[in-house]
Structure 1
Amino acid sequence: MKGTDIADARDALRDVMAVLAALPAADDEAEAIDLISLAESVKSSCAAVQAEQTLRLQELRSAAEAERGVPIERRCRGLSAEVALARRVSGNAGGRYLGFARAMAEMPNTFARLREGSLSEWRATILVRETAYLQVEDRRIIDHALCSDATTLDGVGDRALEALAKQIAYQRDPQAVVDRNASAPKDRRVSMRPKPDAMVQLSALLPMKAGIAAYAALKQHADGLVGDGDRSHAQIMADTVVERLTGQARAEDVAVSVDVVVSADVLVGDSSAAAEVPGYGLIPADTARDLITDALDADALVTLRRLFAAPDSGALVAMESKARIFPSGLRRFIIRRDISCRFPYCDAPIAEIDHAHPHHDGGPTDVLNGLGECRTHNRQKENPGWSVTTAIDDDGTHEALIRTPTGHEHRSRAPDRVGGEAA
């Protein structure tokens, strides 16, 4: 496309957005269903456009870096982070979208169904995921078998689609499936996700036999205790997880450090503003006071460290610490200020504290130049063409301006305040 054609296409897309925004309510139920279905097809077509333009971005970047003499193994580094920022998603999601776009180049029928709107982006992602480990020829056979005819997958659920792809994959290359299953255990992990009402979801990704054995052991134990007391079967299983992992019957008895960021007014009971537990999120003032009171009642070690916040926004601006390097008090302060990775749309935990303006280029090790980031974004912003500058805005909030190799700018603000008064 020429420049004028691209400009016309952008204008046309904006017109489509305007039409969708002004879409009137349906006159009857059948019309409502038709519009819901059509809108789903539009979403799929938009996903195809994004994949196509992502491939084009990779092509242009690779050509430009080849012209500059960049070795082939170093080309397009950091591209997934740019895709993530453009799509307003996390860095990990950006990597998945980049991989998805590359897969579409090898799966023409899947791509065609996505373009025409008969296959959703998620269902196309299932096919990409379940064929990623195969040779290109085998991947294209599955692509043809399942997506050459748009009606093949009519009425097929997501799990059934996954099963179909696995079945054909096993028929084509049994050894590849065996190798994939053998390597999967390396991805085993435990994760925690905050949930409402001061709860967390603790999850474990385990090899099949280990996971089934662990669940069966918990269930068998609960089966023998249900009815003995007022706990439900599910509650007994949950309590048993805590007991077997920690050696304590109650979470309150486990010796761990829990940080609570709370204002002085909340601490003394003069305010109902929320407090924060780093790694979990906001908690009610009463819950924060209860946590501290319980710790004191149990003769646990309780220490107090003063953090200083801007009076208007509540953003953290300083800490009572004389540390001058990130690994000490300054590192702790930046983690409390930034909470999670400071790249826009990335909620990943902070893994590294880095200099926004590189240290090797004279960047200071201080609160202003320090930035909390996940490992992925800390690495990606070191690639050529990236730059990050920081400042304190009029409200006293720490800001970072991230510039990508294409010249696009993305602004990141530290969280405005720790909690807030109830409305």
Structure 2
Amino acid sequence: MRIEGKPDGWTGPTTVPVSDLPAVLPSLPSLLSTHEVEALDESALLELIGSAERAKSALAALQARASATLHNKRCRREEAGGVPQAQRGRGLASEIALARRESPHKGSRLLGLARALVEEMPHPLAALQRGDVTEWRATVVVKETAVLTAAHRRTVDGELADRLPDLGDRRAGAAARAIGYRLDPGSSLRRVRGAHADRCVTVRPAPDTMTHLTGFLPVKDGVACHTALTRAADAATAAGDDRTRSQLMADLLVERVTGVAPATGTPVALHLVMDQQALLAAPTDAPPSAHEAAAETAAHLDGYGPIPAWLARRIVRDSDRVWLRRLFTDPVTGQLAATDSRAREFRGALRRLLVLRDQTCRTPWCDAPVRHLDHATAVSDGGQTTYAHGQGLCARCNYAKELDGWSHRPEATGTTVRGPTGHSWFSPTPVHRPPGRAPAPAPSPRRSPAETHLAALIAA
């Protein structure tokens, strides 16, 4: 790796052997953190921001080259070992995701981007390496040419080579798409078919205990839904309803999807994770004072995330039918109280407890919903069907851990994930304790009446 554009007075090396990069790069964050920027003037600060952005792009290019090379090396090794072609490289995207602290889904996209840049689109890769474009702009170009053949993609690459550094994200994507349409008119139909196959409904948290419910729909269906809600809201307004049009459309959406009007109350299955303080709190659903709020434990609503305890109580009060399952946390560790099972599968209360403890996939940085409950150590290797040895995983991560070279080792405070290269990552067991609250003193060996009652509730 050659260092170019050296400032006046530079006395450092001009090249770094590639074999030294794995040892040099880990020290870069600490090296950069030691530099104070307050002494720089405005011009120097702006120059620093731009230089840092170009350096980020160059590092992204280095990651792309390393990822593509790793994929090729892995596939060649597995080919020599007799692995069928369709199975070569399986699990590699998950390794790259862990190394980059990303989800496995994004790891797949990053590996696909790397292979496309290195193998088919050298000009965006060169621009990225020079710092002339951002990683996202290169991603946009690759994404817009995904339906093209390798030959057509190389043509797009050549035609955009000189223009790409001067284009913004939107114009770069539009230019790549326009060239693709000219080279392969049928690509537009394939894009539509691919998008239609990806239709879905997703939910993600929004501020102030709201959610974003998003439908990715064909244009005719999306417009039809919006038009129907608009007309119904206008009719309600004409009939004297004092809610705004936006409020009416939101309420009508809930009513038409669930079959229950919001004013009636939607049936709720509410899982509340609470500690003993919340268990013994006064049963009020009024918002607490600032002092009370600081000491009150947040509840966890399965499928959404943390909500204020007073809001959880209000949801319970306002719902016509409520299934309330309360789970209690250990006052010392902050972890959910454990149960035990002698079965080989995680079922019933133990399954629900594990899902509520982990909340999302236990693979570091994955964050996908829990789909599988599995043993950290396989039953065939001595794993036990217990709370301590169970973990919630998404389907992808559960399948990945069964591949050669992967292992999950349960420990007292979490699980260590080890990949085929020998690298390991630690996944701590989620702690359900309000931020800033210190652990409670360790309990005495003798159970108090409250502890006995609590154990009976958990075992029920």
Query: Structure 2 length as normaliser, TM-score?
Result: 0.82
Which residue of 406, 412, 427 corresponds with 1:412?
Answer: 427
Q: Does 1:184 align with 2:198?
A: no
Correspondence 1:168-247 to 2 at 5 A: 168-225=179-236, 228-247=240-259
Could you tell me how far 1:241 is from its partner in structure 2?
1.1
Q: Distance in 2 between matches of 1:102 and 1:285?
A: 48
**What pairs up with 1:89-128 in 2 under 5 angstroms?**
89-105=102-118, 106-128=120-142
Name the SS of the counterpart of 1:77 in structure 2: coil
Amino acid aligned to 2:55: V
Q: 1:413 to 1:13 in 2, by over 3 A?
A: closer
- Number of matched pairs: 409
What residue number does 1:38 align with? Answer: 51
Which stretch has the larger CA shift, 16-25 or 96-105? 16-25
Quote the Cα distance in structure 2 between the aligned partners of 1:359 and 1:230: 61
Supply the distance in 2 between the matched residues of 1:37 and 1:420 (Cα, whole angstroms). 37
| Residue identity opposite 1:385 in structure 2 | G
Alignment of 1:368 with 2:388, yes or no, is: yes
CA deviations on 1:73-126 (whole Å, 9 max, x unpaired) are 211110001000000011101111111111112100011011111111111111
- The match for 1:402 among 414, 417, 428 is 417
Corresponding residue number in structure 1 for 2:174: 163
Q: 1:370 to 1:14 in 2, by over 3 A?
A: closer
Note if 1:139 corresponds to 2:150. no
- Amino acid aligned to 1:62: C
Cα deviation, 1:159-198, whole Å, max 9, x if unaligned, reads 2222222111111111122122123212111111012211
| Alignment of 1:294 onto 2:294 | no
CA separation of 1:268 and 1:292: change in aligned 2, threshold 3 A = farther
For residue 403 of structure 1, what is the amino acid of its counterpart? R
Amino acid at match of 2:253: V
Match of 1:338 among 352, 358, 363: 358
1:76 aligns with one of 76, 89, 102: 89
What is the match of residue 253 of structure 1? 265
Farther-moved stretch of structure 1 (367-376 vs 21-30): 21-30
Q: Cα distance 1:40–1:71, how it changes in 2: closer, same or farther (>3 A)?
A: same
User: More deviation in 248-257 or 47-56?
Assistant: 248-257
1:278 to 292, 298, 302: 302
| Match 1:356 to one of 356, 376, 388 | 376
2:277 is aligned, of 250, 259, 265, to 265
CA distance in 1, matches of 2:179, 2:233: 40
Equivalent residue runs for 1:373-388 within 5 Å: 373-388=393-408
> Is contact 2:361–2:370 with CA below 8 Å preserved after alignment?
yes
- The CA distance in 2 between the partners of 1:352 and 1:23, in whole Å, is 47
Gaps of 5+ in 1: 394-398
Equivalent position of 1:312 in the other structure: 332
Matches of 1:126 and 1:48, distance apart in 2:
15
The offset of 1:252, in angstroms, is 5.9
Give the counterpart letter for 1:284 in structure 2: P
SS at match of 2:186: helix
Q: Is the 8 A contact 1:272 1:286 kept in 2?
A: no
Shift of 1:289: 2.1
Q: Residues of 1 paired with 2:36 and 2:210: CA distance?
A: 40
Contact 1:188 1:206 in 2 (8 A): yes
Q: CA 1:357/1:260 → structure 2, altered by over 3 Å: closer, same or farther?
A: same
Q: Give the Å deviation of 1:6.
A: 4.0
Question: Identity of paired residues, percent?
Answer: 41
- Two-structure CA RMSD over aligned residues (Å): 2.5
* Greater gyration radius: 2
Structure 2: tracts of 5 or more residues without a match: 2-15, 283-294, 439-460
What is the CA–CA distance in structure 2 between the aligned matches of 1:320 and 1:240, rounded to whole Å? Answer: 44
How far 1:245 moved relative to its partner? 1.3
**1:52/1:101 contact within 8 Å kept:** yes
- Kindly state the Cα deviation for residue 264 of structure 1 after the two structures are TM-superposed: 4.0
1:329 partnered with 2:349: yes
Whole-angstrom distance in 1 between the partners of 2:274 and 2:264:
20
Question: How many Å separate the matches in 1 of 2:30 and 2:342?
Answer: 55
Query: 3-state SS of the aligned residue for 1:260?
Result: strand
DSSP-derived class of the 1:257 partner: strand
Quick one: structure 1 residues 174 and 411, their matched pair in 2 at CA, closer, same or farther if it must change by over 3 Å? same
**Superposed CA offset, 1:231-253 (max 9, x none):** 33322221221122122220762
**3-state SS of 2:426 partner:** strand
Deviation for aligned residue 1:420: 4.8
| Separation in 1, partners of 2:50, 2:263 | 48
Which range moves more in the overlay, 30-39 or 165-174?
30-39
Query: What is the CA–CA distance in structure 2 between the aligned matches of 1:167 and 1:38, rounded to whole Å?
Result: 32
Out of 6, 13, 21, the residue aligned to residue 9 of structure 1 is 21
Q: Name which of structure 1's ranges 52-61 and 316-325 shifts more when overlaid on structure 2.
A: 316-325
Following superposition, the deviation at residue 33 of structure 1 comes to: 2.4
Aligned-partner Cα distance in 2 for 1:152–1:344: 35
Q: Does the 8 Å contact 2:101/2:365 carry over to 1? A: yes
